[in-house]
A and B are shown apart, each in its own frame.
Chain A
Amino acid sequence: MTIGTGRSAGLELHFEVEQFLFAEGRLLDERRFEEWEALFAADGYYWVPAAHDQESPYSGLSLFYDDREMMRTRVRRLGHTNIHVQKPPTRTCHAYTNVSVEPVREGTDEYLVESRLIVLEYRHDEPQHLYGGRCRHHLRRIDGGFEIAWKRVDLLNCDGIFTALAVPF
């Protein structure tokens, strides 16, 4: 059996998907949270489990589990003039790597994207944090690009001891 050939997606699709991920990360780094939220499908969700290999968002707690409504609330709060935990704001650097793309089903325009995500975070005078782990996106092709059906980030330290978090991974 051969693995890791990337043949199932093809070069052009792989390039498009990678550029999409890089653009998504850039939106978060530039704190363009409303535009980031708009990448998600109407039924889309963003999930960062709090347990290793967590089966579902209802099998336990999660660091983030946002449907569009919760995402909107979070984004609105991030833009609030008096969000104290973001004064000063967190700076982030999202780096996507090790990207591979698989069609969800033969002949559909939906893709499961597997990648590794590394996020650097810094907030004035606090220690710089490094987070990262396995990232999965379920993407659907739409006019002009993709929408995110869901994004799941499995942090290495998902069940560890955290500090306050504000910006999505």
Chain B
Amino acid sequence: MDDRYLRALIRPDRVHRDFYTSPELFELEMERIFGRAWLFVGHDSQVPNPGDFVSVTVARQPLLVTRHADGSVHVLMNRCAHRGAQVCTEPYGNATQLRCPYHGWTYGLDGARLGVPYRKRYADEFLATEAIRLEPIPRMAMHRGFIFGSFTAAGPSLDACFGPMKGHLDDMVDRAPDGEIEIGRPFRYRFNANWKIQLENQNDMYHPMFTHESTTDERGTQFRRQGAEEDQAGKVQLLGAKAGLNPAWEQLQLGGYPFGHTFSGAFPTDRGAEGPVQARYKALLEQRYSAERVTDLLALGRHNSIFYPHFTLQYLTTHIRVMNPIAVDCTEDVIYPIRLRGAPEEMWHATIRSNNNSHSPSGLVMTDDMEVWSRCQSGLKAKTGEWVHFARGMGEEVRIADDTYRATGTTEVCAREQQRAWLRYMLEPDLGTVIA
């Protein structure tokens, strides 16, 4: 797996099938991409009180997110310093200390050593010099309650890595009249496809009218996904007149930033979110922000923000989608609904229903996505046909800087740019040199 091999996998308009099917390449990705990138770990709303903890698996590693007695949030490896046992297996809970079930070694919620039972058989030097604690994740950063972690001690800071995408987190949190969000307990499901197949689908505007055909009526209008108002507001319009492509799809805004992040504008819907609930919501926002800011917030037309390689912020269904690789041909999604604190209760109910309907394991939208992704994985077992094509909309994007661009509609530029970012992660021994 030398540099020449890696470079040969990525061409300007296509990638080699090994990109999705090679187990050796997958392990190298786990080291060079998931081992170094900034990953989503959780949100501080999951651990509101001292002693709270949640156990999560991130990129196959067991972590604990905790709230220490002094109010600080910690991200710890969920692994006893002694023989490596996973200390906590409950998904969430509250404790004054964390005790390993095997030999009773005990730690604080900050990972500090509290007790090694019957310590006389250990040499004093061992107890004095060994780092007996729950190791903190090498790097951790927080923004507006979002908790991010990196498994490497060196590399670009969160700010340098996310760049303008950091503002996308604010775009979500600022929608809360109280200026804070909380996340609810998630869905979890797996499908048989490589992690990049989903990533390359997230800003693919070419697929909805075909993959999601079963969600539409004769006029190409999708079912109502969410509605805080009593009547049927905001159905996504996939098709135009005479079942052709709705021309609004080709105007849909797309863009991307260094490190492979991409984002897309709002889907064309048959009407906006007007109504009495929206009016109350607007009034609540105006208690916090100026009228101009409220106008900007409500006018923000965004569908999703993809933080390469690990998670998506989705504004239509109001959730965080975490995409954990499991194996070369298996990915696990964890979908957290987002509650905007201070917003009308009808909006939270609409978020719950919208997530239930489109992004649950039985979701009317997500299940057809998982089906086509799995078919890509099984189809790619065919060895003849080495190349996977991403030629749509070649060169039509507007370059603002080397890794910053804007585009519209059913182009495949977002996937191409993610592939370029992939190559940089895989080739750069020191991620500090990735930024141009």
A contact set with B: CB distance below 8 Å: 48, 50-51, 57-58, 60-65, 69-70, 73-74, 77, 80, 82-85, 159-166
Cα–Cα distance between A62 and B352 once the two chains are bound (Å): 8
Given contacts A73-B223, A80-B214, contact A65 B361 (CB under 8 A): no
Please tell me if the beta carbons of A163 and B361 are within 8 angstroms of each other in the complex: yes
A-B contact pairs, 20 of them (CB 8 A): A58-B349, A60-B337, A61-B186, A61-B335, A61-B356, A63-B187, A63-B361, A63-B362, A64-B360, A69-B224, A84-B368, A84-B371, A84-B372, A85-B367, A85-B368, A160-B188, A162-B189, A164-B191, A164-B361, A165-B362
List residues of chain B with CB within 8 A of the CB of A164.
189, 191, 361-362, 366-367, 370-371
Please tell me if the beta carbons of A165 and B361 are within 8 angstroms of each other in the complex: yes
Which residues B416-431 have CB closer than 8 A to chain A?
Answer: none
**Is the interface on chain B under 10, 10 to 19, 20 to 34, or 35 or more residues?**
35 or more
List residues of chain B with CB within 8 A of the CB of A77.
214-215, 223, 364
Please tell me if the beta carbons of B187 and A61 are within 8 angstroms of each other in the complex: yes
Cα–Cα distance between A63 and B224 once the two chains are bound (Å): 18
* B66 CB within 8 Å of chain A: no
B185: which of A61, A63, A74, A83 is its contact (CB, 8 Å)?
A61
Q: Which of A60, A62, A83, A84 has its CB near the most chain B CB atoms (within 10 A)? A: A84
Please tell me if the beta carbons of B190 and A163 are within 8 angstroms of each other in the complex: yes
List residues of chain B with CB within 8 A of the CB of A64.
356, 360, 362
Contact string, B192-229, partner A, CB cutoff 8 A, digits 1/0?
Answer: 00000000000000000001011100000001100000
Give the shortest distance, in Å, between B211 (CB) and chain A (any CB): 7
Cα–Cα distance between A131 and B211 once the two chains are bound (Å): 27
List residues of chain B with CB within 8 A of the CB of A63.
187, 356, 360-362
Please tell me if the beta carbons of B213 and A162 are within 8 angstroms of each other in the complex: no
* B332 CB within 8 Å of chain A: yes
Cα–Cα distance between A80 and B222 once the two chains are bound (Å): 13
Please tell me if the beta carbons of A83 and B332 are within 8 angstroms of each other in the complex: no
Cα–Cα distance between A135 and B186 once the two chains are bound (Å): 23
Q: Which of chain B's residues has its CB closest to A48's CB?
A: B362
* B11 CB within 8 Å of chain A: no
Give the shortest distance, in Å, between A75 (CB) and chain B (any CB): 11
Which residues B132-186 have CB closer than 8 A to chain A?
Answer: 184-186
Please tell me if the beta carbons of A61 and B355 are within 8 angstroms of each other in the complex: yes
Given contacts A85-B371, A163-B191, contact A61 B361 (CB under 8 A): no
* B302 CB within 8 Å of chain A: no
* B341 CB within 8 Å of chain A: no
**What 8 pairs between A and B have smallest CB-CB spacing?**
A162-B361, A83-B214, A165-B362, A80-B214, A85-B371, A162-B189, A164-B367, A85-B367
B367: which of A50, A70, A166 is its contact (CB, 8 Å)?
A166
Give the shortest distance, in Å, between A129 (CB) and chain B (any CB): 11
